[in-house]
Amino acid sequence: MKKTMMKISVLCTILCALIITGCSSDDTPDGPEPPEPTDDTLEGNLTEDTTLDSSIEYTLTGSFFVTEGATLTIPAGTKIVSESGTDKYITIDKGSKIDVQGTESNPVLMTSKNETPGDWGGLVILGDATTTAGANSSAEVGGFIYGGNNDADDSGSINYLIINYAGAQINAESQYNGLTLYAVGSGTSISNVAMLNGTDDGVEFFGGTVSATNLYLENNEDDAVDWTEGWSGTVDNTYVLHTIEGFSTAIEADKVNNNPTFNNFTAVSATGGTALQFKKESGATINGLSLTGYTTSIDMADGGPLANVVIEGETADEFKSYTTEPTVDVSTFAWVNSNATISDEVLQGYVDAEVTLDASVAYELNSSYIVRDGGKLTIPAGTKITAANGGTSVYIAVLKGGEIDIQGTPENPVVIGSVDGNPGDWGGLTICGNATTTAGVDAVAEVGGFIYGGTDDADSSGSITNLVIVGTGAQINSESQYNGVSLYAVGSGTTIENIAVKNGADDGVEFFGGTVSATNLYLENNEDDAVDWTEGWNGTVTNVYVSHSIEGFSTAVEADGTNGNPTLVNFTAVASTAGTGLQFKKESGATFENAHLSGYTTNVDFPNGGAPSNVIVDGTPLTTAEDDVFNGTALDISGWSWIEASL
């Protein structure tokens, strides 16, 4: 028999007491009367099929337990408001069901009276599917029993549900989640569910086989999606948003890997952090992954096999940022009515139109910031951008067809750097152009997999003047690192002047083909090469000052590949730690006009036996590596005050 629910605050013992005391006033015991049940409170055990009334705003005053054999139906538009406390939660027992009938225009809302994260315990569903914890396991939530051998178990249906402010503390080790799924079976339907502002996880799967579609998870302070005990379901279309400090991850997986699948998973963070964390032997298959704003993309916390994590059909790459076009449109979740946004002070995502920064704003670069074809990023004089210590996930890139306009002045240069300025903190500035390169048209860059190279040697990627970059050189893989400035097939129409790159773990500036020229480069303590080129770059650099005062750097110049015969005018390099000044690999070479080297053990090196005559100094080709010709007039940089600018 189905019943419309009007009175639910009804423990069986209380009902019995009320009935008995109602029969005879003479038998009423001394002391306070038991509370009268009301039409708008939820507490106790529900033992029969019951439908709530969407016109009533219900208050959750204690634990509310749907027992075996009963179904709780919650119509569209119903609102349940919980009082605060660890004993405030809704539980669906093994063998019972929940039927949430929300719609896009009228979702069901479960929230708290105080609207504070951690107010209540959320929704807990106990199923009869398999879990590595075994049949009839005891849950950390309430000690409830879950798990069996029916992977097709059906705990009901949930559609268009918002759960807000859950995550109450159970004990020192555990908290409730927004939605907790214990061994829930594949017969259960879960779609269009939003978990917001929880102090623990948004949704956690403890084993089971249940799948879900359209999950929105915002500002859950531990993990957005968490699973353990061999969950093996599929989730389609997930959007995670982190705009507050202190969260853990977008995904945390633990224990046995039963290879759950995520199709279209988009996660955005304004505060850095780790996106995907896999503990022990856990893993997953993810198709359509988009991560923006995270300082770490993938963390194998316990050294588990990376091969267990398959992304876009390939073994996951810990050094890859996975910053792509969002695979889930956040407007899909307009029904959530969220007000959370990414601050304009945080630079991340894509620039597709004209964007001009404000020099009075202290910007944060927490992940990648990519100017795409047709976009233009203007950075006024005096702008300061603090890059997170996020390694390969943090960089600025300008793609083919995009432009950057850095408008620094000697008095007010633009500064982009990490707080501590340590080598390798972040990935630097990458520009991809449409000029020629020996790598060919539409080559793939080692940085970000970006496309570069074409046939337009006069191509313009914009203008950069008076820029200081600090702390770059993040490690891409065992073979590659980011540079301070990476110039991929950048054309001669691009202006580059007054650039300082300091404390990089790799090169200061590297040219990958192209025809771009530069003026006034200051390169200090870049741990690989100060100036590097390959792929036939043939531009001119005028006024270069290289300073090496630390051990372990590579060279002031490293050239590789085909010789495009670039020109270096007024090139000065000074070392206090010996080392090699200029290195020319394969058949590479250059023309120097007024070159001054000081303090290097070896001035010039041809490691692959290339022809010394490919290097021309003051009009004369070298005859041997020992030619003493790098003794020109040292460049005077006493007027380069802009190189001292800092955050």
Contact 31, 24 (CB under 8 A): no
Average pLDDT over residues 87-101: 97
What whole-number distance in Å separates Cα of residue 210 and Cα of residue 526? 52
Query: Which pLDDT belongs to residue 355?
Result: 97
How does DSSP assign 364-381, residue by residue? EEEEEEEE-TT-EEEEET
pLDDT in tens, 519-536: 999 999 999 999 999 999
Return the sign of the alpha-carbon dihedral for residues 45, 48, 49, 50: negative
Mean predicted lDDT score pLDDT of the chain = 91
∠ CA 154-158-163, nearest 5°, is 130
Query: Which pLDDT belongs to residue 320?
Result: 83
CA atoms within 13 A of residue 72's CA, in its CB half-sphere: 26
pLDDT in tens, 509-521: 999 999 999 999 9
Helix (H) or strand (E) holding 21: helix 12-23
Contact 352, 374 (CB under 8 A): yes
Is residue 357 scored above 80 in pLDDT? yes
Contact 219, 340 (CB under 8 A): yes
Average pLDDT over residues 25-29: 35
What whole-number distance in Å separates Cα of residue 66 and Cα of residue 89? 11
More confident residue, 6 or 101: 101
Is residue 587 scored above 70 in pLDDT? yes
Query: Which pLDDT belongs to residue 5?
Result: 43
pLDDT in tens, 242-257: 999 889 999 999 999 9
How does DSSP assign 229-252, residue by residue? TT---EEEEEEEEE-STT--EEEE
Query: Which pLDDT belongs to residue 34?
Result: 36
Query: Which pLDDT belongs to residue 488?
Result: 98
Average pLDDT over residues 304-325: 92
Average pLDDT over residues 593-599: 97
Is residue 506 scored above 80 in pLDDT? yes
Nearest by Cα to 220 from 236, 238, 241: 241
pLDDT in tens, 366-414: 888 999 999 999 999 999 999 988 888 889 999 999 999 999 999 999 9
Place of tokens 């097939």: 489
Is residue 462 scored above 70 in pLDDT? yes
Backbone angles phi, psi at 16, to 5 degrees: -60, -45
pLDDT in tens, 169-225: 888 778 899 999 999 999 999 999 999 999 999 999 999 999 999 999 999 999 999
Query: Which pLDDT belongs to residue 607?
Result: 95
In this structure, what token pair is assigned to residue 281? 């032997």
Backbone angles phi, psi at 630, to 5 degrees: -95, 55
Contact 444, 450 (CB under 8 A): yes
CA atoms within 13 A of residue 505's CA, in its CB half-sphere: 20
Chain center to CA of 450: 18
Is residue 66 scored above 80 in pLDDT? yes
What whole-number distance in Å separates Cα of residue 405 and Cα of residue 396? 13
Contact 5, 50 (CB under 8 A): yes
**One-letter amino acid for residue 195 of the chain:** M
Query: Which pLDDT belongs to residue 18?
Result: 31
Look at 10-14, 93-97, 581-585 and tell me which has the smallest mean pLDDT. 10-14
How does DSSP assign 295-329, residue by residue? SEEEEETT---GGGEEETTEE--TT-----S-SS-
Backbone angles phi, psi at 18, to 5 degrees: -65, -40
Query: Which pLDDT belongs to residue 324?
Result: 85
CA atoms within 13 A of residue 9's CA, in its CB half-sphere: 14
List C-alpha distances in Å: 118 to 85, 174, 273.
Answer: 8, 12, 21
pLDDT in tens, 431-440: 999 999 999 9
140: confidence class by pLDDT, cuts 50, 70, 90: confident
Query: Which pLDDT belongs to residue 319?
Result: 80
Is residue 2 scored above 70 in pLDDT? no
Nearest by Cα to 275 from 230, 240, 326, 307: 240
Contact 125, 155 (CB under 8 A): yes
Contact 268, 250 (CB under 8 A): no
Contact 520, 546 (CB under 8 A): no
Is residue 622 scored above 70 in pLDDT? yes
Is residue 442 scored above 50 in pLDDT? yes
Helix (H) or strand (E) holding 231: none
Percent share of the chain, pLDDT over 70? 94
Query: Which pLDDT belongs to residue 482?
Result: 86
478: confidence class by pLDDT, cuts 50, 70, 90: low
Domains of the chain: 49-335 (2.160.20), 370-644 (2.160.20.10)
Nearest by Cα to 367 from 271, 486, 491, 498: 271
Q: What single DSSP character describes residue 331?
A: G
Query: Which pLDDT belongs to residue 479?
Result: 65
Helix (H) or strand (E) holding 192: strand 189-196
321: confidence class by pLDDT, cuts 50, 70, 90: confident
Residue 173 has a CB neighbour count (10 Å cut-off) of 7
Nearest by Cα to 414 from 154, 99, 242, 642: 642
13: confidence class by pLDDT, cuts 50, 70, 90: very low
Percent share of the chain, pLDDT over 90? 81
Look at 10-14, 182-186, 420-424 and tell me which has the smallest mean pLDDT. 10-14
Average pLDDT over residues 130-135: 97
Residues 6+ apart with CB under 8 A from 302: 279, 280
Is residue 621 scored above 60 in pLDDT? yes
Is residue 477 scored above 80 in pLDDT? no
Coil/strand/helix, residue 644:
helix
pLDDT in tens, 328-349: 999 999 999 998 888 889 998 8
Residues 6+ apart with CB under 8 A from 144: 91, 93, 124, 126, 138, 182
Nearest by Cα to 511 from 481, 496, 531: 531
What whole-number distance in Å separates Cα of residue 74 and Cα of residue 98? 8
Average pLDDT over residues 90-112: 98
